[in-house]
Structure 1
Amino acid sequence: MTQPNTYIMRCTACGTRNRIPVEKVGTVAKCGKCQGPVHTDVLRIDHALTITDSDFDSQILRSPLPALLDCWAPWCGPCQMMEPFMTELAATWQGRIRVGKMNVDENPRTSSQYRIMSIPTLLIFDNGQLKDTLTGALPRQSIVQAMSAYL
């Protein structure tokens, strides 16, 4: 559980969870375990990141925050319906959850690796591991409930 004026993020080198005071956001902190650098600028991201096959590992699997990846396609009506509240959640969860969007038509390697057979599909990752998969156009509250363990 985070204290009111702190964030929790993982060291990308050793995976240790580190408490980052609000006033240290934007600086390079030091991991409490391995003493490696912890780049806190990621805590400022307030929008959904566009994820591709080439940056999936660095942006999602090695994310210092739990990640929610929206797998979508531009021709998908239900995907279009979910976009406004995915954008809202990215802003609301700034510094706590990384939200990403991946066009499945343009990124077949990752789509195939995680067996995306229908869209929209939401993938939940923490510490480099797939924790849950949510399929279909879900109401905002269902997504919030699924992510509550990571907030």
Structure 2
Amino acid sequence: MSTSKIVVCPHCHRPNRLPEARLDDQGRCGHCRSALFDGTPTALTAASFDRHLERTELPILVDFWAPWCGPCRAMAPAFAAAARQLEPTARLAKVNTEDEPALAGRFAIRSIPTLVLFMNGREVARQTGAMDAASIVRWVRSVV
């Protein structure tokens, strides 16, 4: 019996069932036909955040950031590089705290950048401060 995972499309935010054996095949969304994994962080809004958190059966690493934050801007390339290394075993996403202050408040984000790792819809780990790509990957793998 083949096992599968529910993966939410980073483009149309609809859930897709993907056989675990095919996670590395860079599957396509059954709704919008976009790639389910493209090695880039997914921008989440209040409208799409809960759908990803509640429906995706992959660990989700969320970078809470703001455009005015120097360390956030400095870490952005490292976070993108970590996405290329961690997908498809984890989804990396970004939440702009300036555009989504309610999400920042909901998760008690007090300083940025803050990385929050979710599994099965629950927060399992948190790291504050800029990190390089290798440190992000190592940290996620140590928790997952």
TM-score where L is the length of structure 2: 0.75
Tell me what 2:21 maps to: 21
Over 2 Å off, 4+ runs: 7-12, 22-28, 138-142
Of 113, 117, 128, the residue aligned with 2:110 is 117
Would the aligned equivalents of 2:40 and 2:80 in 1 still touch at CA under 8 Å? yes
Does residue 9 in structure 1 map to residue 2 in structure 2?
no
Of 65, 73, 84, the residue aligned with 2:77 is 84
TM-score where L is the length of structure 1: 0.72
Would the aligned equivalents of 1:53 and 1:108 in 2 still touch at CA under 8 Å? no
- Structure 2 alignment gaps of length 5 or more: 9-17, 30-34
Would the aligned equivalents of 1:68 and 1:124 in 2 still touch at CA under 8 Å? yes
Secondary structure of 1:78's partner? helix
The share of aligned pairs that are identical, in percent, is 31
Does residue 102 in structure 1 map to residue 95 in structure 2?
yes
Q: CA deviation at 1:10?
A: 5.0
Q: CA deviation at 1:19?
A: 5.7
Q: How far apart, CA to CA, are the structure 2 residues paired with 1:64 and 1:45?
A: 17
User: Which has the greater radius of gyration?
Assistant: 1
Q: How far apart, CA to CA, are the structure 2 residues paired with 1:137 and 1:24?
A: 28
Secondary structure of 1:55's partner? helix
Q: Within 5 Å, which residues of 2 pair with 1:32-51?
A: 42=36, 44-51=37-44
Would the aligned equivalents of 1:8 and 1:96 in 2 still touch at CA under 8 Å? no
91-100 vs 112-121, greater mean Cα deviation: 91-100
Q: How far apart, CA to CA, are the structure 2 residues paired with 1:9 and 1:69?
A: 19
Does residue 70 in structure 1 map to residue 63 in structure 2?
yes
